[in-house]
Structure 1
């Protein structure tokens, strides 16, 4: 499937307004819906990336910080292949909201978990994220 720039803009404006959500949720929902049917299951593991500048602490001001703090974390999205967008988008939005700290702590926990260098102890979850 390929969308023109006009179609993409329309989709992002209309869907964002209708479901009060952002591009990240729209793309995650599309990945969840696209991955679930082919595999014959409801859950799809997606590697999410954030800018890492989430306001986690009230007394820390990152506005004058130079650099980029990318956070990369896996999310197992539960999306029914038979569900319509009216069910999928709010569901994915809530699933993403449930990720503690928008995934910022995953990288630290990944390397401090006691597993082999660069791997968590069980190796399952981090496998979704590229190195």
Structure 2
């Protein structure tokens, strides 16, 4: 084998393995950018953004004490008071949805987290069927 080929084999192996771990920490030691999710679940409603917005995002943010993503909050660059605006922010501006990649989508990481420091909404949880709808919507490309 030629010397150049000897170098190339370990380099390809390294970069191949690096691809398996491409989803890494976003700088916040408490929040990982990837999780384990399955799209083999039963959604509470049709996995479309309009259904997700009307049935989960908007009512969750309207609850007493949850104002992080309401008109006065906009934490993380997200507001869930208007469907068009929130879709634009979630998919196009913040990129938190990561269309086609629910395991590395920030919104999925947050709503499925077991760690209270990471989990959204704080001090509450989103119904597993609603989580499923969000996961399936993102897996299908997060289309509007």
Q: Is TM-score (shorter-chain normalized) higher than 0.5?
A: no
TM-score scaled by structure 1? Answer: 0.25
- Tell which has more relative contact order, 1 or 2 (C-alpha 8 A, sep 6+): 2
Task: Answer 1 or 2: which has greater strand percent.
Answer: 1
